[in-house]
Structure 1
Amino acid sequence: MKTLLLLRHAKSSWAEPGRDDHSRPLNGRGRRGAEALGRWITEEGLTPDEVLCSDATRTQETWRRLGLEGEATLRPTLYHAGPAMLMQTVQEATGAQVLVIAHNPGIAEFADQMARVAPDHHRFAQYPTCALTVLQFEIDDWAALAPGTGEVRAFVIPADLGVTRT
């Protein structure tokens, strides 16, 4: 059994005009959302043993704000990666519970492709910032990962955890 956590980075800031997209940090709501999600992951016993993270500032800060144990492996190829690159990255993973932190639209498309049945959540199709899908696969090795074979264990967004826009 393998568990895959697919996380879109938390809400980022557009406060500095001219700042390049890759280096944008999180805003206040993003910081609060990532911290709340980190608590939820811990409470649910979903702490990853491998973390694969885009090298963008906002994904790295999302990882730090989760407050989970371990180190993230930064992957420049996950910056705005599409489903094919996400699939390749996960198929090379070695952990039993793997967290991938990346960007839309790729992470949303990948989550949808991997789920046998999409979760019954009104925001899944939009996959807002800091959205997390938890999927379980009946495989022994990530190399055997295939689309449409994941059982959705959870889909959660910061608003579900009481994080508001203000």
Structure 2
Amino acid sequence: MKTLYIVRHAKSSWSYKGIADIDRPLKKRGIKDAHLMSKILTKEIEKPDTFITSSANRALHTAVIFCENFGFPHANLQIKRQLYSFSDGYLVKTVNALDDGFNSAIIFSHDHGINTFVNEFGDKPLAHVTTCGVIGIQFQEKHWKNIRRGKTILVEFPKNHK
């Protein structure tokens, strides 16, 4: 059995002019939400075996906050440039490539790919995963490369805790 947690990066800022999209930082609200959600999750789930993030500043910062609150070593955080894609294809490839020694993983990524993924692989339809939303899906398969539709075991959004 495998368990995957997918986190949409926290709220980012659009107020900086002239910087590339990949470099956009978190807003203060995003930082607060990342701390809120990660602290809530530390009480609801066991620490995932591996943490993987998009290379985008906003996703990376969200992942670092989660690492801090879960006590996961920053040096073990995997950064994947391909997760910056807004397609679920790279998310699926990343999940399928996970080491089978990991029974659980948490991945930090972006809007469109996450929405498509959780609706294709989870059993609860979701219209939209908000910033810093966390979705947990449990799979019966023994190998990440074989995952099919699983059971959605967690749906958490910051607005439900404010």
TM-score by structure 2 length?
0.90
Aligned-pair CA distance for 1:81: 3.8
Once residues 130 and 46 of structure 1 are traced to their aligned partners in structure 2, the CA distance between those partners, rounded to angstroms, is 18
Aligned-pair CA distance for 1:129: 0.7
Once residues 145 and 126 of structure 1 are traced to their aligned partners in structure 2, the CA distance between those partners, rounded to angstroms, is 22
Runs (4+) of structure 1 exceeding 6 A deviation are: none
Once residues 116 and 42 of structure 1 are traced to their aligned partners in structure 2, the CA distance between those partners, rounded to angstroms, is 24
Q: Which runs of 5+ in 2 are unaligned?
A: none
Q: 1:96-123 CA distances to partner (integer Å, 9 max, x unpaired)?
A: 11111111111111111111233xxxxx
What's the counterpart of residue 26 of structure 1?
26
Letter aligned with residue 92 of structure 1: A
Aligned residues between the structures: 155
Q: Which runs of 5+ in 1 are unaligned?
A: 119-123
The structure in which a higher percent of residues are helix is 2
What's the counterpart of residue 131 of structure 1?
133
Residue 17, structure 1, aligned to residue 17, structure 2? yes
Structure 2 counterparts to residues 113-128 of structure 1, below 5 A:
113-118=120-125, 124-128=126-130
Structure 2 counterparts to residues 73-152 of structure 1, below 5 A:
73-94=78-99, 95-118=102-125, 124-146=126-148, 149-152=149-152
SS at match of 1:100: strand
* Contact 1:80–1:104 (8 Å) recurs in 2: no
Once residues 124 and 13 of structure 2 are traced to their aligned partners in structure 1, the CA distance between those partners, rounded to angstroms, is 33
TM-score by structure 1 length?
0.88
Aligned-pair CA distance for 1:140: 1.1
What's the counterpart of residue 62 of structure 2?
62
Once residues 140 and 129 of structure 1 are traced to their aligned partners in structure 2, the CA distance between those partners, rounded to angstroms, is 30
Aligned-pair CA distance for 1:45: 2.3
* Contact 1:49–1:98 (8 Å) recurs in 2: yes
Letter aligned with residue 43 of structure 1: K
